[in-house]
Structure formats: structure tokens, C-alpha cells
Amino acid sequence: MWGISRIGNRIGEHFNKIFARMNLKYTGSAKERFFWRDEQSPTEYMNYRVYMTTASDISPEEVSVAVKEVLESQFSLLREDLIRETAKLFGYSRLGTIVEASMQKGIDKTIQRGFAKEDRGRVSMT
């Protein structure tokens, strides 16, 4: 938003102090946070938006909804194929390390949320 492409320690600490004072709701870790509005519940979030941005900016909760949608139409896919199909929903035609990592986290979140299960590299609806 402010044209900052990389956050150094000083800027990162400054943002952390501001965020702590604002008492914002977020998921993720200190290095990878996804902020939520007060009226949103990350555990109950059931929407996803098509982004024209870096895949790392998409929360695993949001990716998990897209994964669920892919599985509803395919029922079961190998993890690699599920990554590819989910990435397509977000408009990514190529898989790079960032896109793949984001989709992997989303698949893991889908399983954690109870929407899917994995058996020997194959992910299917529960």
C-alpha cells in the first residue's frame, strides 16, 4: 500500500506495535499475518476472491474454500493436481514456488477444517 516491497526489522517492529495497539484479529504467524474484519470469523469464512496479486497474500482460509470447491466437482485428486486446479481458480496459469506454497497451505487448512482428508497423496472430500 505504501510502496514498501521489503520490510526491514525497524519497519516490521513499528508495524507490530501499531497492530498490537489496534487489537486487530488475524490468523497466521508474526511473519505471515492475514487480518480479518471484526465481523469476519476465519474459522467460518466460506468465500474466496480471484486475486491479481501475489499468491502469498491469500489467506489459507480463503484458499481452503477454493480447494473445497475443486473437490466438490472432482471429489478426489492427487495433491499435485489439486494444487494446479486450485491455482487456476485464482487465475494462476503457472506454478511457481510462491503459488505452490500458498495452495499447499490452503490444502492443509482444508483438511484441518474437516472439509477433506488425505490418503497416500490423494485428497478427497470427507
* Residue-wise DSSP of 1-26: --S-SS--HHHHHHHHHHHHHHT-EE
Residue 2's pLDDT is what?
61
Residue 35's pLDDT is what?
87
Half-sphere exposure (CA, 13 Å, Cβ side) for 86? 34
Give, in degrees to the nearest 5, the angle at Cα 18 between 17 and 19: 95
Cell digits of residue 44: 467460518
pLDDT mean over 50-59: 84
Architecture of the domain made up of 41-125? Orthogonal Bundle (1.10)
pLDDT digits (tens, 9 = 90+) for 61-95: 999 999 999 999 999 999 999 999 999 999 998 89
pLDDT at position 97 over 90? yes
The bridge status of strand 116-119 relative to strand 33-36 is unpaired
pLDDT at position 5 over 70? no
For helices 97-112 and 60-74, angle between their N-to-C axes, nearest 10 degrees: 80
Q: What is the mean pLDDT of the chain?
A: 89
How do the domains of the chain map onto residue ranges?
A: 1-40, 41-125
Cα separation, 107 vs 91, whole angstroms: 17
Cα separation, 96 vs 125, whole angstroms: 26
Helices (H) and strands (E) in the chain, counts: 4, 5
pLDDT mean over 5-29: 81
Residue 30's pLDDT is what?
65
Residue 60's pLDDT is what?
96
CB atoms closer than 10 angstroms to residue 19: 14
Cell digits of residue 86: 486450485
